[in-house]
Amino acid sequence: MKITNLPFGLTDWSTIPATEHKGDTGMAYWRTQQFGDIRVRMVEYTPGYLADHWCVKGHILLCLEGELVTELEDGRIFTLTPGVSYQVADHAEPHRSSTQIGAKLFIVD
């Protein structure tokens, strides 16, 4: 990722409207900012959320609250808890997320 033409700025995430994204089960609420080609999101998953697709987009993701389970298409499973992050490149390893208890994430992609 190369960050260019981005002046210093603050984001008060509480002022960004949330958009709803339905999973196979549960909901995801995204607060999104776009800075050129870089999308930055604060995402909250409800308890019982399961993604409705295998994602191939690259991300840097930090778990802020709760617990997130990320499954790779090859069967590997990783659990993120507060303070744990992952990173994956575009089209590198399809992945999908779920949570039994809910999770709050900070995502850059």
Instruction: Name the nearest CA neighbour of 80 among 46, 57, 104.
Output: 104
Q: How many CA atoms lie within 13 A of 25 on its CB side?
A: 9
Could you tell me if residue 27 is inside a domain? no
Could you tell me if residue 15 is inside a domain? no
- Predicted TM-score (pTM) of the model is 0.92
Full domain range(s) for residue 100: 37-108
Task: Tell me the CATH number at 48.
Answer: 2.60.120.10
Q: What is the pLDDT of residues 46-65, one digit of tens each?
A: 999 999 999 999 999 999 99
Dihedrals φ, ψ of 34, to 5°? -115, 125
Domain count, the chain: 1
Percentage of residues in the chain with pLDDT exceeding 70? 99
Average pLDDT of span 89-101: 95
Could you tell me if residue 21 is inside a domain? no
Could you tell me if residue 22 is inside a domain? no
pLDDT of the residue at 58: 92
Could you tell me if residue 103 is inside a domain? yes
pLDDT of the residue at 2: 78
Strand order in the sheet with 95-99: 49-50, 95-99, 68-72, 77-80
